[in-house]
Chain A
Amino acid sequence: MIAPLRRRHRWLAPASFAAAIVGVLAGVMVRPDAFVDAGSGRDSVLAAPAYVAQAARPVPGIDGLGAALVPGEGDRMDLWLMAEARLEAADVLAYLASAAPSPSGSMETPLPEGAQLLGSVAPLGASRLSLTAPHAAHLVLFSLGQQRVLGSLDLDGSPASTSTPQGGR
């Protein structure tokens, strides 16, 4: 009874470790530092290419954070978020919403209804998020730690007004 189990063990274990090593190598090769501009002069490797940095607009309400929407692969768009200095908010998430967040009256601002989660925003350096076309018009940045909207940006062109902190979530 043991022989078939040993034979299975002999191919299953090496296949698993080989897949794991290949996966780690692939993950290392494709992570954001692969896109660093050689001439950017930055110490951090989490930097956006120069053409992206040139297209960046500041995100109202968040000091030192810029956003740029550039064509990506196929019909997708790449949304780059670039933090020049470490963000002072905790666990910042990026959402897309069809409308800008509406101001309310207390310390926490809720996310707009139907906001779509794009991903997390690196506290320092660049984050790249992928959007399909068509996509909702407003980028909303939300801090999970502080449970409030930090700022939003109209991706179609004009920056939206910053929401004032209010309403619990």
Chain B
Amino acid sequence: MGHTYQAVQWNPQKKRYDQLVVGGVLLYLAVFMAVSAAVFPEATLETLLIRGLGTAALVLLHIILSIGPLARRDPRWLPLLYNRRHLGVTMATVASLHGAFSTLQFHAFGDVNPIVSLFTSNTRVDSIAQFPFQPLGACALVIVVLMAATSHDFWLRNLSAPVWKALHMLVYVAYALILLHVALGSLQTESGTVTPAALGLGAVWLGALHLRAARAEGARDREEEVREAAAAEGWMDACGVDEIPEGRAKVVVAAGDRVAIFRSEGHLSALSSVCQHQNGPLGEGRVVDGLVVCPWHGFQYRPRCGTSPEPFDERVPTFRVRVEDGRVLLDPRPLPLGTETDPVPVSSAGSSPA
């Protein structure tokens, strides 16, 4: 059941990505602390570091949450998506440093355990202005650290994709907790408009991005569901043959999920559009050297049987497809994993044998 652990397989792109991320964080910290030291000359180095690390983590989180919906709208953002988990791990590290320094600064000099003090020193849950904001940040930190710790594919396989995905969607809960942490914390000790405006703008930006992506995806699903509803004899009219470019796919909704009909060397094959790695949009990938390649992380599948080439063992369901009068008909019932199907010539008038 378990899978062996394989360390990060570094390549030049990953190294460059990480160098940019780490360099960016260090540059941000240097600039932030220099500016803050000029504006708040009485602040100590520890205070500047705490503020710098906290704001750096928040900025990183906004970038991370922006990448997904941006990549859905424009494939030029995909390079940022490829190694997004590296951004997440960096963010968790920076946030952990912020949490550690804060706990040390404000809770380590009493006779109570600092972690206990963190959660018990302020009990004003009945007040908004004096709400115990630090536990909110601590809970968010637990979530992001858990996500960072399970970001490797080893955990994706061992926890199973649904559990892993459910865990990683807690990033939205963490985001809300962090903003509440800031709004009920540092926002209560200053009078300026820059901080609340930046916080509000960040939340509105992310909300708008996600809303836009959701509406586009929802419209796409509804368009395909109409087509699915009109299916007769178990076969649905998916699309015209000419709608599928060579080496690419047409994605349709069948039985509530997306199916990609690929065209390669004049033949059609249908398989699930959901990559087994991290649910990437397989149907937006290409056929390269006879293999379907996921646009997110490059996972490959054979179009005729939905299996990955050795040594990988990912599999996606395949579907029967046939061509009649220039129309591609799809049987929406997925075949058992690994079922071999014969690719259908685009000019064929017959059905694809199961």
A positions within 8 Å CB-CB of B: 1-3, 5-6, 8-10, 12-21, 23-28, 30-33, 44-46, 73, 86-91, 93, 111, 113-115, 117, 120, 122-123, 125, 127-128, 130, 144-145, 169
Mask for B168-198, Cβ within 8 A of A = 1, else 0? 0100110110011011100111110000100
B203 at the interface (CB under 8 A from A): yes
In the assembled complex, B64 has its CB within 8 A of some CB on chain A: no
Contact with A along B158-175 (1 / 0, CB 8 A): 000110011001001101
CA distance A93 to B106 in the complex (A): 9
A26 and B183 in contact, given A45-B191, A114-B111 (Cβ under 8 angstroms): yes
Bound-state CA distance A32–B183 (Å) is 13
Q: Are B44 and A91 in contact (CB under 8 A)?
A: yes
> Can you list 15 contacts pairing A with B, beta carbon distance less than 8 Å?
A5-B165, A12-B173, A15-B176, A16-B176, A17-B176, A17-B203, A21-B204, A27-B182, A32-B189, A32-B191, A87-B42, A113-B111, A114-B111, A115-B110, A144-B105
On B, residues with C-beta under 8 Å from A are 40, 42-44, 46-47, 105-106, 109-111, 121, 124, 127-130, 161-162, 165-166, 169, 172-173, 175-176, 179-180, 182-184, 187-191, 196, 199-200, 203-204, 206-207, 210-211, 214, 217-218, 256-258, 274, 279
Q: Which residues of B contact A122 (CB under 8 A)?
A: 189
From A17, A23, A27, contact of B210 by CB (8 A): A17
Q: Quick check: B274 and A2 within 8 Å, CB to CB?
A: yes
Q: Give the interface centre of A5, A24, A28, A31 by most chain B CB atoms within 10 Å.
A: A24
Given contacts A5-B165, A10-B214, A123-B42, contact A130 B188 (CB under 8 A): no
Q: How far is the CB of A151 from chain B (nearest CB, A)?
A: 16
Assess whether A88 is in contact with B111, with CB atoms less than 8 Å apart: no
Residue pair A30, B129 in contact (C-beta under 8 Å): yes
Q: Are A20 and B191 in contact (CB under 8 A)?
A: no
Cα A144 to Cα B191 with chains together (Å): 23
List the B side residues contacting A91 at CB < 8 Å. Answer: 43-44, 46-47, 105
**B179–A20 touching, CB < 8 Å:** yes
Is B210 a contact partner of A130 (Cβ separation < 8 A)? no
Is the CB–CB distance between B176 and A9 below 8 Å? no
Query: In whole angstroms, what is the CA distance A123 to B279 when docked?
Result: 51
A144 to B104 Cα, complex, angstroms? 11
A18 to chain B: which residues have CB within 8 Å? 207
CB–CB A16/B110 < 8 A: no
Contact B110 A117 (CB under 8 A): yes
Not counting A24-B179, A89-B42, a sample of 14 additional A-B residue pairs whose C-beta atoms are within 8 angstroms of each other reads A1-B162, A9-B214, A12-B172, A14-B210, A14-B211, A17-B172, A18-B207, A20-B175, A24-B183, A25-B200, A26-B183, A91-B46, A114-B111, A144-B46
Cross-chain contact of A28 among B105, B173, B187, B279 (Cβ < 8 A) = B187
A27 near B187: Cβ-Cβ < 8 Å = yes
Separation of A73 and B126 alpha carbons in the complex (Å): 10
Q: Is the CB of B279 within 8 A of A5?
A: yes
Q: Is the CB of A144 within 8 A of B42?
A: no
Contact A31 B176, beta carbon cutoff 8 Å:
no
- A125 CB, nearest partner CB in chain B, Å: 8
Whether the Cβ atoms of B257 and A2 lie closer than 8 Å is: yes
User: Are A13's CB and B191's CB within 8 A?
Assistant: no
**A1 with B257: in contact, given A26-B128, A33-B191 (CB under 8 Å)?**
yes
Which one of A6, A28, A114, A145 lies within 8 Å of B217 (CB-CB)? Answer: A6
Shortest CB distance A74–B (Å): 9
CB distance from A30 to the nearest CB of B (A): 4
Q: How far is the CA of A73 from the CA of B46 in the complex (A)?
A: 34
